[in-house]
Structure 1
Amino acid sequence: MLPLTAATLLAEPETAAAAEPSATDNPAGGAGTPKSASEAQAFGLARESGQPVEIIDRRTETTETFAKPDGSLTQKQYALPVWTRHDGLWRKADDTVIRREDGTIGPTATFGITFSAGGDGPLVAMDQDGKKLALSWPGKLPAPVVGENTALYESVLPGVDLKLIAKVNGFAQHLIIKTPEAAANPALKTIKLGITTAGVTLDDTASDELLAKDGNGQVVFKAPKAKMWEQPAAEQTAPLAKATSQPRSVLLKEAPEPALPQQAPVGVDVTGNTLTLSPDPGLLASAKQFPLVIDPPFEGGKTGIWATVYSATPDDDYKWGDGWNSQDTPGDEPRVGYNGKGDTQAFFSMKMDGLHGANIRDASFGVVQTHSWGCDPAAAGPTELWASKSIEATTPTWNTRNNFWTYKLDERKFAHGNAEFCPGAEGADFYSPALIAYIQESANASANQVALGLRVPNSYLGNRNSFKRLRNNPVLEVDYNFAPEVLSSGAFEGSWGENVDGNKPVPCGGLIGNSGLVLTATMRDRDGGTTTPGFEVINAAGEYIPVTNLSTVPYGGTGTGTVLSENLPTGTYKWRALAKDEESSYSPWTNFCAFSSTRPDQRSASPSPRTTALPTVPPSPGSRRARRCVSSSRTRPPTSPASAGAWTARSPSPPHRAPAPEATGCPSPPARRKPSSRSSPSSTPKAP
Structure 2
Amino acid sequence: MALLALAGAVLAGATGQAVADDRPFAVAPGNSTPPAAGQQGGAPDGPVQVARAKARQSGKPVVVEGLTTETSQTVANPDGTLTRTENVRPVRVKKGGDWAAVDASLARNGDGTWSPKAVPSGVALSGGGSGPLATFTDAKGRSLSLTLPFALPAPVVSGAGASYRGVLPGVDLEVTVTEEGAFHEVLVVHDAKAAANPALRTLKLATGGKGLTTRTDADGAMTAAAADGTAVFTSPTPVMWDSSTTGTADAAADGADGEKTDGKSRGKAADAAPQGITVDAADAEKSTAKGPGHRAHVSAIKVAAGSDSLTLSPDAAQLDSPDTVWPVYIDPYVNPATGKTNHYVQVKEGCPSEPTYDKAQENGEGIGYQQYSSSCFGLYRSFYEFDTDYLNSSMVVSKSTISLVSTHGADANCKATWPATLKLTGGINGNTLWPGPGVVSTIGTTQVASANVNAGCGNKGASFDVTSTIRQYIDYPNLTFGLYGNESKTSTNYGFMRFAVNPTLTTVFDIAPKARPTWAPPRPRRTRPRRPAVRAAPAGSG
User: TM-score normalised to the size of structure 1?
Assistant: 0.55
Q: For residues 90-135 of structure 1, what are the alpha-carbon distances to aligned partners after superposition, in whole Å with 9 as ceiling and x for unaligned?
A: 2111112233454221222113211100002211112222232221
**Structure 2 residue aligned with 1:228:** 240
**Structure 2 residue aligned with 1:336:** 367
CA 344–181 in structure 1, closer or farther in 2 if over 3 Å, else same: farther
**Structure 2 residue aligned with 1:270:** 305
**Per-residue deviation, 1:430:** 1.1
Q: For residues 30-71 of structure 1, what are the alpha-carbon distances to aligned partners after superposition, in whole Å with 9 as ceiling and x for unaligned?
A: xxxxxxx95563233234334332222222222222234455
**Structure 2 residue aligned with 1:467:** 496
**Structure 1 residue aligned with 2:419:** 382
- Structure 2 residue corresponding to 1:182, chosen from 186, 189, 194: 194
**Per-residue deviation, 1:172:** 1.4
Write the mapping of 1:446-461 to structure 2, written as runs, cut at 5 A: 446-447=477-478, 450-459=479-488
* Identical amino acids, percent of aligned pairs: 27
**Per-residue deviation, 1:454:** 1.8
**Structure 1 residue aligned with 2:107:** 98
**Per-residue deviation, 1:339:** 5.1
Write the mapping of 1:311-350 to structure 2, written as runs, cut at 5 A: 316-318=354-356, 331-338=362-369, 340-341=371-372, 342-350=377-385
The answer to whether 1:288 aligns with 2:324 is yes
* CA distance in structure 2 between the aligned counterparts of 1:335 and 1:207, rounded to whole angstroms: 24
Question: Which amino acid letter does the alignment assign opposite residue 156 of structure 1?
Answer: V
Unaligned runs of 5+ in 2: 1-29, 33-45, 247-259, 271-294, 521-526, 530-542
Question: Which amino acid letter does the alignment assign opposite residue 65 of structure 2?
Answer: I
Q: Match of 1:469, SS?
A: strand
Question: Which amino acid letter does the alignment assign opposite residue 514 of structure 2?
Answer: T
- Check the 8 A contact 1:105/1:117 in 2, yes or no: yes
CA 180–409 in structure 1, closer or farther in 2 if over 3 Å, else same: farther
Write the mapping of 1:352-391 to structure 2, written as runs, cut at 5 A: 352=387, 354-355=389-390, 357=392, 359=395, 361=397, 362-372=399-409, 373-374=411-412, 380-391=417-428
- Check the 8 A contact 1:279/1:294 in 2, yes or no: no
**Structure 1 residue aligned with 2:506:** 477
**Structure 2 residue aligned with 1:164:** 175
* CA distance in structure 1 between the aligned counterparts of 2:486 and 2:268, rounded to whole angstroms: 24
**Structure 2 residue aligned with 1:128:** 138
Write the mapping of 1:263-662 to structure 2, written as runs, cut at 5 A: 263-286=298-321, 288-290=324-326, 291-299=328-336, 304-310=342-348, 316-318=354-356, 331-338=362-369, 340-341=371-372, 342-352=377-387, 354-355=389-390, 357=392, 359=395, 361=397, 362-372=399-409, 373-374=411-412, 380-396=417-433, 400-401=434-435, 404-405=438-439, 407-418=441-452, 423-432=457-466, 435-436=469-470, 441=473, 444-447=475-478, 450-459=479-488, 462-480=491-509, 531-532=514-515, 553=516, 555-556=518-519
* CA distance in structure 1 between the aligned counterparts of 2:207 and 2:70, rounded to whole angstroms: 27
**Structure 2 residue aligned with 1:567:** none
- Check the 8 A contact 1:391/1:451 in 2, yes or no: yes
Q: For residues 494-552 of structure 1, what are the alpha-carbon distances to aligned partners after superposition, in whole Å with 9 as ceiling and x for unaligned?
A: xxxxxxxxxxxxxxxxxxxxxxxxxxxxxxxxxxxx623xxxxxxxxxxxxxxxxxxxx
CA 349–403 in structure 1, closer or farther in 2 if over 3 Å, else same: closer
- Check the 8 A contact 1:375/1:422 in 2, yes or no: no
- Check the 8 A contact 1:369/1:426 in 2, yes or no: yes
CA 230–464 in structure 1, closer or farther in 2 if over 3 Å, else same: farther
* CA distance in structure 2 between the aligned counterparts of 1:404 and 1:181, rounded to whole angstroms: 50
**Per-residue deviation, 1:86:** 2.2
Question: Which amino acid letter does the alignment assign opposite residue 468 of structure 1?
Answer: M
* CA distance in structure 2 between the aligned counterparts of 1:365 and 1:75, rounded to whole angstroms: 12
**Per-residue deviation, 1:147:** 2.8
Question: Which amino acid letter does the alignment assign opposite residue 193 of structure 1?
Answer: L
Unaligned runs of 5+ in 1: 1-17, 21-36, 235-248, 325-330, 484-529, 533-552, 558-644, 648-688
- Check the 8 A contact 1:345/1:453 in 2, yes or no: no
- Check the 8 A contact 1:226/1:295 in 2, yes or no: yes
CA 432–208 in structure 1, closer or farther in 2 if over 3 Å, else same: same
Indicate the structure whose relative CO is greater, using CA pairs within 8 Å and at least 6 residues apart. Answer: 2
- Check the 8 A contact 2:136/2:145 in 1, yes or no: yes
**Structure 2 residue aligned with 1:119:** 129
Instruction: Please identify the structure whose Cα radius of gyration is greater.
Output: 1
Q: Match of 2:368, SS?
A: strand
* CA distance in structure 2 between the aligned counterparts of 1:41 and 1:51, rounded to whole angstroms: 13
- Check the 8 A contact 2:174/2:186 in 1, yes or no: yes
Q: Match of 2:488, SS?
A: helix
**Structure 2 residue aligned with 1:83:** 92
User: TM-score normalised to the size of structure 2?
Assistant: 0.68
Question: Which amino acid letter does the alignment assign opposite residue 298 of structure 2?
Answer: Q
* CA distance in structure 2 between the aligned counterparts of 1:156 and 1:175, rounded to whole angstroms: 9
* CA distance in structure 1 between the aligned counterparts of 2:192 and 2:455, rounded to whole angstroms: 39
Structure (1 or 2) with the greater helix fraction: 1
* CA distance in structure 1 between the aligned counterparts of 2:267 and 2:194, rounded to whole angstroms: 30
Q: For residues 226-270 of structure 1, what are the alpha-carbon distances to aligned partners after superposition, in whole Å with 9 as ceiling and x for unaligned?
A: 233335589xxxxxxxxxxxxxx9851255566632323333333
Number of aligned positions between the proteins: 433
Q: For residues 174-216 of structure 1, what are the alpha-carbon distances to aligned partners after superposition, in whole Å with 9 as ceiling and x for unaligned?
A: 2222323333433334322122223444333566433334455
